[in-house]
Amino acid sequence: MLSDARAGLQLGLPAYLDYNAVVMPHPVNLGEFEQLILLAVLRLRDNAYGVTIRAELTERAGRTVAPGALYTALERLETKGLIASRMSDPTPQRGGRAKRHVTVTAAGMEALRRALRAYERLLEGLQLGGAHA
Partner 1 sequence: MPCGRTNGCSRDCNLGAHMRENAVEKLFSLFLSADAAAGIAGDLAEERDQRGWIWFGLQAVRITFALWRNAAAEAPVRMLALVLLGAALLSAPALGGIAAVLLVPEWMSSPAGWIALPLFWWGGALWTGATLVAVAPRRGMAGCASLAVVGQTLLIAFGGPAVWRDPSDTGFAVFCAAGLAGAVPLLAGGVMARRRMILGGTSTLEPHR
Applying CB under 8 A, which residues contact partner 1?
A: 49-51, 66-69, 71-72, 75-76, 78-79, 85, 87, 89-100
User: Toward partner 1, which CB reaches closer, 95 or 130?
Assistant: 95
Q: What DSSP state is assigned to residue 90?
A: -
Q: Find the shortest distance in angstroms from Cβ 91 to partner 1.
A: 8
User: Toward partner 1, which CB reaches closer, 9 or 55?
Assistant: 55
Angle (deg, nearest 10), helices 67-79 and 50-61: 110
> How many angstroms separate the CA atoms of 103 and 11, rounded?
39
User: Toward partner 1, which CB reaches closer, 7 or 103?
Assistant: 103
Q: Find the shortest distance in angstroms from Cβ 101 to partner 1.
A: 9
Q: Find the shortest distance in angstroms from Cβ 8 to partner 1.
A: 34
Give the DSSP per-residue string, 96-109.
Answer: SBPPEEEEE-HHHH
Q: Find the shortest distance in angstroms from Cβ 17 to partner 1.
A: 26
User: Toward partner 1, which CB reaches closer, 6 or 94?
Assistant: 94
Compute the C-alpha angle 71/106/8, nearest 5°.
Answer: 125
Best CA proximity match to 36, nearest among 46, 27, 26, 48: 48
